[in-house]
Structure 1
Amino acid sequence: MSRLVAWLEDYVLPLASKIGQVRWLVALRDAFISVMPITIAGSMAVLIKSLIAAAKTNLGWKAFAWTMQPLVLISDVVWRGTFALFALFLALSLGYHLAKSFEVDSLAGAIVSLSSLAMSIANLTKLQVNSKVIFLPHAFDIEQFSTTGIFTAILFGTIGVSIYAMCFKARIMIHLETNLPYAEQRAFDSLVPAIIAIFGVGAINFVFQSVTGTFFGNWLLHTIQWPLVRMGQGFGMVMLVTLLVQIFWFFGINGLSVMAPMLDSIWLTAQNVNITAVRNGKAAPLLWARSSFDVFAWFGGAGGTLMLIIAILLFSKRSDYRTIAKVALAPGIFNINEPVVLGLPVVLNPVYFIPFILAPLVNVAFSYWVTMMGLVNPVQAAVPAVMPPILGPFLACNYDWRAIVLSIINMLIALAIWTPFVFAADKLADTNSPRPYYTRQY
């Protein structure tokens, strides 16, 4: 065990630290976090519509469904303003955070990123009328601004903002020596760098379209984005990412933050595809989504540490461990695990290394195969990260009661894995405690 921990500390920890400091990855992580209100609002629109439809179909509440029809229409409007434009919001957020990391004008960076996305997707739409396909030039298909445009937004948003930042840092700008208001002066400073960046991205797209005869966004979608999303549905890929998140966390590095660019770009895309399909009345096509990790394995936070807290409260005889567990219980119910991970601690604690790694892996593996067998719905709605266990899976799986059963089974499995190591930690702590010194009485 000590050799394994030392090897991970020597080779894995430095790599994780470097990944966590990459400017582009940090900006991408912050961008996905920033658009969370859009994600949650769009998911709520799907959940509301599904709840009303289920009440009408399964319970026969036709009058209720008719009364709630305005709410269904409002949910459709909310959908068009949130998930239907997800890539648009992501491009803005990524441009803002990337420009901020370069210490240049953030608003200009957001605008350049959005312009770069718009230039990189097809302005040609197909329309089917009476079994005939009509091509409409100079018209954007709104689907290109949804999840299908995520990789395009990431790639060209990064290219555009990087060019803009380099020109700005090189002082290639028009700087007026007059007493202009701050906003106007910043706009003039950003004018030339932004123009160079936009024309640079435009030139890249023009050359690509001239050589290949297709838009870069369409090519990127079919040759890179979809293969990666489908690769993310593989059991090995899911288990590998779970393992890496746990290893990073064990060494005190937020594994979710380090792996956020991969988790969000691959599995959040899959989740959005499922949400879109359900919203259109179709079955969720993809097995594993971003929230699948959270609702089926990371209850209480990464490592399933809520069950560690419960195991300590049930079985530990040490008052110091029980006190920490009592303090960490309320945050743990809402999937905040820093009090127990850093306070017990779990981080760099060899006693808890095996259950911290093993419990999520077993939960993910079990949930993956249960979902594959069709015994529970795939995740098809985004729920907030602070949603308590049992309730979170129920909502994420679109009101599937079987998700509650699966969640309870997973929690019991994690509890069974954590419990022996709680006893071991008690025994080890008692062994290492200083013995009292008695003076001999005569």
Structure 2
Amino acid sequence: MSKFNQMLEEKVMPVAGRIAGQRHLQALRDGIILTMPLLIIGSIFLILGFLPIDGYPEFMTRTFGDAWLTKLLYPVSATFDIMALIAAFGIAYRLAEQYKVDPLSAGAISVAAFILATPYFTMFTPEGATEAVQVGGVLPMALLGSKGLFVAMILAMFSTEIYRYIIQKNIVIKMPDGVPPSVSKSFVALFPGFLVILCVWIIRLLIENTSFESLHNVVGQLLQEPLGALGGTLIGALIAVFFVQLLWSTGLHGASIVGGVMAPIWLAQTDANRLALQAGDEIPNIISQQFFDIFIYMGGSGATFVFAIMMLFMAKSQQSKQLGRLAIGPGIFNINEPITFGAPIVLNPLLIIPFILTPLALTITTYIGMSTGFAPKTAGVAVPWTTPPIIGGYLATGGNIRGALMQVINLVVAFAIYYPFFRMWDKQNFNVEKGSSKEQ
């Protein structure tokens, strides 16, 4: 056991610490989080549009007319379909904060660069004409949403790196001291902003003369599709879950670190499920952001909700019982820091074993359940990760009771894995308390 701890401290923690402190990964994580409130708001309307209640569509049609669903889903488009646009601003803003330069200017320049790189010309054939003509000014909403997320990420970091380099080299237009600060900042951003736009414009012109035609196609074919293929498989999901748990075992926020890389993939697959639901098509993706948030990490990373229940109702030691009383409240909302650092699980070889094994097992059971049709796939609804178990499974699958049942099965599996380790851990605590009592 001591060798295992030594390996974690000497080999894993230094590398994991450097990754956790990497400013670009932090900016990706924090910038994408900016989209989550909007996605949750849009999901509320998405749920209302597809409630699995007999006679519900007919009732809504009689009450609000034939176009009730289209009008109800307006907020869904206004939130989901600007995901990349918001991420372009948020990532640049957070990265500029890391460099201690004006984040608002960096965010605005990033959005402009993203719009410039997005093809907004369409071909239109006028009535009576034989050839199509090019019509400008039409931004494709699909590329402003999840399909443009990777381009938004790349351009946000690219534009902010140019912006901060020019600012830090002091190659800027300076205004007299009497000029208001807001005006002065605008002129400071003028030259770096011009340089960013110039670079992206040249890149767009060059790519348009290739078979790719747009930066979105380049990124999609060379980056997004391969990563999506890996992130959408059971093997890819297991690898991601393993690293989340391993990082948490050393005291680092594994979900944030791994999520900084994988969240764009899982969000894109979530949105693809949402589009399929709206179109009435079959849900395409098993792996999505809600696959992990709702079905794997019940009680938080490590699926520790059952561990909190064991401490509360089955523990013999006073320490375990007290920790159970403290942990059960946050655990209901999938917050498990009291257990992770209170038990502790961090650097505790006995509890690290079920802490890693349980989410891996739940990933397999959930994937099998959804691939066989026993449980429905997540419906593209951005259910908050703090949603309590059972409720979360019901909502994430579009109001399907089998989604809640899948969570119940996963809780049983988690209980079976955690129980023997819990008994050994609680016995250790009880013996320590008994020995202390005899000494007193």
Q: Which residue of 1 aligns with 2:63?
A: 67
Matched, 1:190 2:186: no
- Distance across 2 between alignment mates of 1:133 and 1:26: 49
In structure 2, which of residues 72, 97, 103 is the aligned counterpart of residue 100 of structure 1? 97
- Distance across 1 between alignment mates of 2:346 and 2:131: 59
Q: Which residue of 2 aligns with 1:312?
A: 311
Alignment of 1:418-433 (within 5 A): 418-433=418-433
1:228-263 CA-partner distances (Å, limit 9, x unpaired) = 112212111100100110111111101111112223
The answer to whether the 8 Å contact 1:300/1:333 transfers is: yes
The answer to whether the 8 Å contact 2:354/2:421 transfers is: yes
Superposition RMSD on alpha carbons, in Å? 2.3
Alignment of 1:144-163 (within 5 A): 144-163=143-162
1:72-131 CA-partner distances (Å, limit 9, x unpaired) = 44432212211111111111111211111111111111111111111222223356999x
Q: Which residue of 2 aligns with 1:282?
A: 281
Q: Which residue of 1 aligns with 2:114?
A: 117
Query: SS of 1:82's equivalent?
Result: helix
- Distance across 1 between alignment mates of 2:237 and 2:438: 53
The answer to whether the 8 Å contact 2:82/2:141 transfers is: yes
- Distance across 1 between alignment mates of 2:296 and 2:125: 44
The answer to whether the 8 Å contact 2:60/2:68 transfers is: no
1:358-408 CA-partner distances (Å, limit 9, x unpaired) = 111111111011111122221121101111001001101111111111100
Matched, 1:78 2:68: no
Q: Which residue of 2 aligns with 1:326?
A: 325
1:328-383 CA-partner distances (Å, limit 9, x unpaired) = 11111011111121122221122211110111111111101111112222112110
The answer to whether the 8 Å contact 1:270/1:289 transfers is: yes
1:245-287 CA-partner distances (Å, limit 9, x unpaired) = 0111111101111112223111111111111221222221112
Q: Per-residue deviation at 1:313?
A: 2.0
- Distance across 2 between alignment mates of 1:36 and 1:159: 23
Amino-acid identity (%): 28
Q: Which residue of 1 aligns with 2:21?
A: 21
Query: SS of 1:125's equivalent?
Result: strand
The answer to whether the 8 Å contact 1:125/1:141 transfers is: no
Q: Which residue of 1 aligns with 2:265?
A: 266
The answer to whether the 8 Å contact 2:146/2:268 transfers is: yes
Q: Per-residue deviation at 1:409?
A: 0.8
Query: SS of 2:47's equivalent?
Result: helix
- Distance across 1 between alignment mates of 2:288 and 2:212: 33
Question: Normalising by the residue count of structure 1, what TM-score does the alignment of the two structures yield?
Answer: 0.92
Paired AA for residue 170 in structure 2:
R
Q: Which residue of 2 aligns with 1:33?
A: 33
Q: Which residue of 2 aligns with 1:46?
A: 46
Aligned CA distance change for structure 1 residues 364 and 84 (closer, same or farther; 3 Å): same
Count of matched residue pairs: 434
The answer to whether the 8 Å contact 2:293/2:385 transfers is: yes
| Gapped regions of structure 1 (runs ≥ 5) | none
Aligned CA distance change for structure 1 residues 178 and 371 (closer, same or farther; 3 Å): same
The answer to whether the 8 Å contact 1:159/1:201 transfers is: no
Query: SS of 2:81's equivalent?
Result: helix
Paired AA for residue 63 in structure 1:
F
The answer to whether the 8 Å contact 2:92/2:106 transfers is: yes
Mean CA deviation greater in 400-409 or 201-210: 201-210
Q: Per-residue deviation at 1:227?
A: 2.4
1:125-167 CA-partner distances (Å, limit 9, x unpaired) = 356999x995644232221111110011011121111101100
- Distance across 2 between alignment mates of 1:438 and 1:203: 78
1:200-227 CA-partner distances (Å, limit 9, x unpaired) = 2222222233344611112212332122
Aligned CA distance change for structure 1 residues 357 and 129 (closer, same or farther; 3 Å): farther
Aligned CA distance change for structure 1 residues 153 and 24 (closer, same or farther; 3 Å): same
Aligned CA distance change for structure 1 residues 133 and 405 (closer, same or farther; 3 Å): farther
- Distance across 1 between alignment mates of 2:418 and 2:301: 14
Q: Per-residue deviation at 1:3?
A: 3.1
Paired AA for residue 278 in structure 1:
L
- Distance across 2 between alignment mates of 1:344 and 1:361: 21
- Distance across 2 between alignment mates of 1:133 and 1:319: 82
Mean CA deviation greater in 193-202 or 325-334: 193-202
- Distance across 1 between alignment mates of 2:356 and 2:126: 55
Query: SS of 2:189's equivalent?
Result: helix
Q: Which residue of 2 aligns with 1:12?
A: 12
| Gapped regions of structure 2 (runs ≥ 5) | none
Q: Which residue of 2 aligns with 1:387?
A: 387
Aligned CA distance change for structure 1 residues 334 and 436 (closer, same or farther; 3 Å): closer
Query: SS of 2:347's equivalent?
Result: coil
Q: Per-residue deviation at 1:299?
A: 0.7
Q: Which residue of 1 aligns with 2:358?
A: 359
Aligned CA distance change for structure 1 residues 87 and 435 (closer, same or farther; 3 Å): closer
The answer to whether the 8 Å contact 2:311/2:321 transfers is: yes
Aligned CA distance change for structure 1 residues 48 and 136 (closer, same or farther; 3 Å): farther
- Distance across 1 between alignment mates of 2:62 and 2:17: 55
